[in-house]
């Protein structure tokens, strides 16, 4: 407490409270030891009756201490060979200050795992938190702690850490280290074109090596010569196939403490699940063959419709056992835990009317020999993927189809006959003077909506930015042309962008000083892990079969640090294959199947002839086939332009809205979509000013708002 004399007179108290004294101090944790270990410099601020200890950057010390659990007697007996005294391992207050509650729990979990405190002799963990929960920061906190401290005599647990990550994220990791720890505490080395592994080997300065999966393969020999004490595999779901080179390479590293980070569900396929588990904790589930007998077979069998009661019970028991066992070292939290830190999210699905040329070409394609062949019944060697590809291109823009046809005409190879038969007679549908370089907006329903949407965003929110996502580089080219045409400044990241450039481009866009209005993103190259919080509008120009791809892309902007309300627009061409793909995404089939997995592409999808028939149908007269399928009783077009009736329309569909929580990043289901707001483009007086401006080209809207309470 403060000296007596300054609190003596009550009358003087107010004045005295403003009397502040500063002391320059060194501080240490409370300890009975004679020789104390000093933690560092600090400033003690005494004000009235209270005092606060701050570090030299002005952050409070000691207020938020996060102490790791102590190892038990057994652990001490095993690991404290020299009988070092047991000391507390404490997370640096500088970091703790920023941590969210779930991150504190996550760090304790990771600490216990890699210390072998959760399972005897096992040092691996899988952190499977949903996207945007700050897995990076949790790992950085762990590395920094283990590198400086340990429970036995304070001796550091690790010296060197290896972080393997997709190419686009190498520099993101470097940046996060700097953001949370500054540049003095820890020296990290990120491998890119200008920074080779040799440099890391030669220097004794660095304790952390960050490298891409591709680069790791190339430098494996050198890396194998080094000793790492902790291995972190970011976006580690790719290790689920033990046959692939990367997995073998990582397996060959002798490091015992292994952490896999992934935001994507991992329990869909029991064999892939085994590979991930076996990587972090080798042998914990026994050999693959015994795993199959004990777990996989009974579990799979019990899910067959023909399973007997006994088989069902056995399967359930084994599944529970597997969950219990692996649950010791797998942690997954959903997005709900950070919802309260996030701004509102307004999600829209826009059904865009196709242009006249698109409709004509679409019909012609559906009448082609190739499509008819697909529907004959024999699916072997059927060209359905080519047909699907052509229809998807057409939905994006007819010029993409035009270029493919031209390309095929020029190629002299005999293979690809199906493609030729698909394109037969199509050229005559294009105007004689068709210029595929121009890619005019009127020829594509979605492009028309997109350009209007950009105009209105620019007008209503001149300081906000847009992330524009496509699965295809060629489509990105078209979108880039739109930017040029309208004079929008843009940045672009696709598979061709050199790894060393990627973070610079991302930082540039996120900076408040950037003049970029648009970020063109290839979801294949940059869908996972990137932070694009500089943008608050995200437009998904095309749709992927795999809902996980789209969810990943959407999570780039609605994450911690985002200041604005986030608007997400998914563009679909009304009545076409795009609607069908969307329906597949939200149908039960996709939800229960293994499609919810980033590494699965359309080639993995099995279609029945019935499904193909449905895919290859154009619905010209519907405003929204998806809405028809929902069996929702509201129908925008039945109502005249009268405000009372309008209300009636929306009211019906808005049942449960507002309270509805669909924030967790699971793929949306049909029944959830039914609870969204439904608007027909024709008749409603749309409240949303952005939608109001694009309604002319949109036949139907679905809208859902998350975190509306904080919406201004």
Residues in touch with Mg ion (CB under 5 A): 529
Q: What is the rounded distance in angstroms from the CA atom of residue 572 to the CA atom of residue 8?
A: 74
Half-sphere exposure in the Cβ direction for 158 (13 Å, CA): 25
In sequence order, the β-bridge partners of residue 163 are: 210, 232
Which range touches ligand ATP (CB under 6 A), out of 368-376, 474-482, 493-501, 552-560?
A: 552-560
Build a one-symbol-per-residue string for 161-180: x at contacts with ligand ATP by CB under 6 A, - elsewhere.
---------------x----
Give min distance, CB of 169 to ligand ATP, in A: 7
Give min distance, CB of 548 to Mg ion, in A: 15
Which range touches ligand ATP (CB under 6 A), out of 62-70, 134-142, 273-281, 601-609?
A: 134-142
Give min distance, CB of 183 to ligand ATP, in A: 16
String of DSSP letters for 77-116: HHH-TT-PPB---EE-HHHHTT--HHHHHHHHHHHHHHTT
What does 598 bind: ligand ATP, Mg ion, none (CB cut-off 5 to 8 Å by kind)?
Answer: none
Residue 560 engages ligand ATP in binding (rule: CB under 6 A):
yes
What does 100 bind: ligand ATP, Mg ion, none (CB cut-off 5 to 8 Å by kind)?
Answer: ligand ATP
Q: Do 444 and 347 meet the contact criterion of CB atoms below 8 Å apart?
A: no
Which is closer to ligand ATP, CB of 135 or CB of 465?
135
Which is closer to Mg ion, CB of 214 or CB of 304?
214
Tokens of 639: 């109502």
Which range touches ligand ATP (CB under 6 A), out of 376-384, 386-394, 536-544, 557-565?
A: 557-565
Among 234, 243, 252, 318, which Cα is nearest to 275's?
A: 243
E-state strands within 100-160 = 125-127
Give min distance, CB of 272 to Mg ion, in A: 20
Which is closer to ligand ATP, CB of 331 or CB of 374?
331
Which is closer to ligand ATP, CB of 131 or CB of 586?
131
Q: Do 416 and 408 meet the contact criterion of CB atoms below 8 Å apart?
A: yes
Name which of residues 640 to 679 contact ligand ATP (CB under 6 A).
Answer: none
Q: What is the rounded distance in angstroms from the CA atom of residue 372 to the CA atom of residue 384?
A: 10
Q: Do 279 and 124 meet the contact criterion of CB atoms below 8 Å apart?
A: yes
Burial of 30 (0-12, 13-18, 19+ CB in 10 A): exposed
* Residue 4: alpha-carbon gap to chain centroid: 57
Residues 6+ apart with CB under 8 A from 697: 352, 353, 445, 448, 449, 452, 681
Question: Site for ligand ATP (CB under 6 A): which residue of 71, 93, 106, 132?
Answer: 132
| Buried residues in 559-589 as b, exposed as e (16+ CB within 10 A) | beebebbbbbbbbbbbbbbbbbbbbbbbeee
Give min distance, CB of 139 to ligand ATP, in A: 8
Which range touches ligand ATP (CB under 6 A), out of 127-135, 448-456, 514-522, 613-621?
A: 127-135
Which is closer to Mg ion, CB of 87 or CB of 137?
137
Residue 529 engages ligand ATP in binding (rule: CB under 6 A):
yes
**Reading across the β-sheet that carries 345-352, which strands appear in turn?**
490-493, 518-522, 466-470, 537-540, 566-573, 345-352, 698-706, 677-680
Name which of residues 352 to 411 contact ligand ATP (CB under 6 A).
Answer: none
Which range touches ligand ATP (CB under 6 A), out of 59-67, 82-90, 98-106, 478-486?
A: 98-106
How many Cβ atoms from other residues are within 10 Å of residue 205's Cβ?
A: 10
Residue 559 engages ligand ATP in binding (rule: CB under 6 A):
yes
Which range touches ligand ATP (CB under 6 A), out of 29-37, 479-487, 541-549, 553-561?
A: 553-561
Q: To which residue do tokens 């062949």 refer?
A: 373
Among 423, 389, 394, which Cα is nearest to 406's?
A: 423
Q: To which residue do tokens 């986030």 refer?
A: 566
Residue 129 engages ligand ATP in binding (rule: CB under 6 A):
yes
**DSSP secondary-structure letter at 129?**
P
Which is closer to ligand ATP, CB of 143 or CB of 630?
143
What does 129 bind: Mg ion, ligand ATP, none (CB cut-off 5 to 8 Å by kind)?
Answer: ligand ATP
Give min distance, CB of 561 to ligand ATP, in A: 5
| 3-state helix/strand/coil string of 503-559 | HHHHHHHHCCCCCCCEEEEEHHHHCCCCCCCCCCEEEECCCCCCHHHHHHHHCCCCC
Which is closer to ligand ATP, CB of 136 or CB of 404?
136
Among 644, 645, 617, 621, which Cα is nearest to 700's?
A: 621
Give min distance, CB of 691 to Mg ion, in A: 32
Give min distance, CB of 260 to Mg ion, in A: 12
Give min distance, CB of 140 to ligand ATP, in A: 9
Which range touches ligand ATP (CB under 6 A), out of 373-381, 448-456, 495-503, 555-563?
A: 555-563
Which range touches ligand ATP (CB under 6 A), out of 116-124, 130-138, 487-495, 686-694?
A: 130-138
Interface residues with ligand ATP (CB under 6 A) are 98-100, 103, 129, 131-137, 176, 263, 529, 531, 555, 559-561
């Amino acid at each position: 407490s403060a000296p007596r004399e300054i609190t003596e007179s009550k009358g003087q108290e107010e004045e005295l409270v403003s009397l502040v004294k500063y002391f320059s101090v060194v501080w240490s944790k409370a300890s009975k030891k004679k020789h104390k270990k000093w933690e560092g410099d600090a400033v003690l601020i005494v004000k009235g009756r209270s005092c606060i200890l701050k570090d030299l950057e002005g952050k409070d010390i000691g207020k938020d201490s996060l102490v790791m659990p102590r190892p038990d007697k057994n652990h001490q007996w095993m690991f404290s060979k020299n009988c070092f005294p047991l000391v507390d391992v404490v997370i640096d207050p500088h970091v703790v200050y920023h941590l969210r509650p779930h991150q504190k729990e996550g760090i304790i979990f990771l600490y216990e795992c890699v210390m072998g405190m959760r399972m005897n002799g096992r040092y691996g963990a899988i952190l499977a938190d949903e996207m945007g929960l700050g897995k990076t920061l949790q790992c950085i906190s762990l590395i920094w702690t283990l590198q400086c401290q340990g429970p036995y005599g304070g001796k550091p647990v690790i010296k060197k850490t290896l972080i393997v990550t997709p190419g686009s994220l190498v520099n993101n990791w470097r940046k996060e280290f700097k953001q949370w720890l500054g540049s003095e505490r820890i020296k990290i080395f990120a491998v890119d074109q200008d920074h080779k592994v040799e440099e890391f080997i030669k220097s004794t300065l660095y304790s952390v090596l960050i490298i891409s999966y591709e680069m790791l393969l190339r430098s494996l020999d050198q890396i194998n010569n080094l000793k790492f004490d902790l291995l972190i595999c970011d976006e580690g779901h790719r290790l689920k196939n033990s046959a692939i080179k990367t997995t073998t390479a990582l397996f060959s590293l002798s490091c015992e403490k292994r952490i896999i980070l992934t935001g994507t569900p991992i329990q869909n396929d029991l064999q892939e699940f085994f590979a991930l588990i076996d990587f972090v904790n080798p042998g914990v589930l026994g050999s693959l063959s015994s795993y199959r007998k004990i777990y996989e077979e009974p579990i799979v069998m019990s899910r067959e419709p023909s399973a007997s009661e006994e088989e069902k019970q056995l399967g359930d028991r084994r599944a529970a056992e597997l969950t219990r066992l692996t649950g010791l070292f797998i942690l997954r939290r959903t997005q709900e835990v950070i919802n309260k830190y996030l701004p509102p999210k307004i999600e829209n699905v826009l059904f865009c009317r196709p242009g006249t040329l698109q409709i004509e070409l679409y019909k012609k394609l559906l009448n082609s020999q190739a499509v008819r062949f697909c529907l004959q019944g024999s699916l072997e060697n059927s060209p359905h993927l080519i047909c699907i590809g052509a229809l998807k291109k057409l939905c994006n823009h007819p010029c993409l189809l035009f270029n493919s046809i031209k390309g095929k005409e020029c190629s002299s190879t005999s293979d690809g006959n199906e493609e030729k038969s698909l394109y037969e007679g199509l050229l005559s549908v294009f105007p004689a003077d068709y210029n595929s370089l121009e890619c005019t907006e009127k020829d594509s329903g979605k492009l028309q909506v997109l350009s209007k949407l950009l105009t209105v965003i620019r007008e209503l929110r001149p300081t906000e930015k847009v992330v524009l996502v496509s699965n295809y580089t060629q489509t990105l080219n078209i979108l880039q042309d739109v930017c040029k045409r309208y004079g929008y400044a843009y940045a672009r990241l696709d598979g061709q962008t050199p790894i060393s450039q990627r973070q610079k481009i991302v930082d540039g866009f996120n900076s408040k000083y950037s003049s970029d209005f648009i970020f063109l993103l290839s979801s294949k190259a940059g869908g996972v892990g990137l932070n694009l919080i500089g943008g608050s509008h995200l437009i998904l120009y095309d749709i992927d079969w795999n809902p996980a791809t789209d969810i990943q892309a959407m999570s780039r902007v609605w994450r911690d640090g985002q200041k604005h309300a986030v608007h997400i627009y998914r563009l679909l061409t009304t009545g076409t294959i795009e609607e069908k793909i969307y329906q597949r995404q939200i149908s039960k089939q996709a939800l229960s199947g293994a499609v919810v997995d980033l590494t699965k592409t359309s080639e993995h999808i099995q279609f029945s002839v019935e499904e193909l028939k449905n895919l290859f149908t154009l619905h010209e007269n519907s405003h929204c086939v998806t809405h028809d399928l929902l069996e929702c009783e509201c129908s925008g077009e039945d109502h005249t332009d009268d405000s009372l009736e309008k209300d009636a329309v929306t009211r019906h569909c808005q049942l449960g809205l507002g309270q509805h929580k669909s924030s967790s990043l699971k793929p949306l289901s049909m029944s959830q979509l039914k609870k969204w707001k439904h608007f027909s483009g024709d008749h409603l007086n749309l409240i949303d000013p952005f939608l109001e401006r694009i309604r002319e080209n949109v036949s139907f809207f679905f809208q859902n708002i998350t975190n509306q309470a904080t919406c201004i």
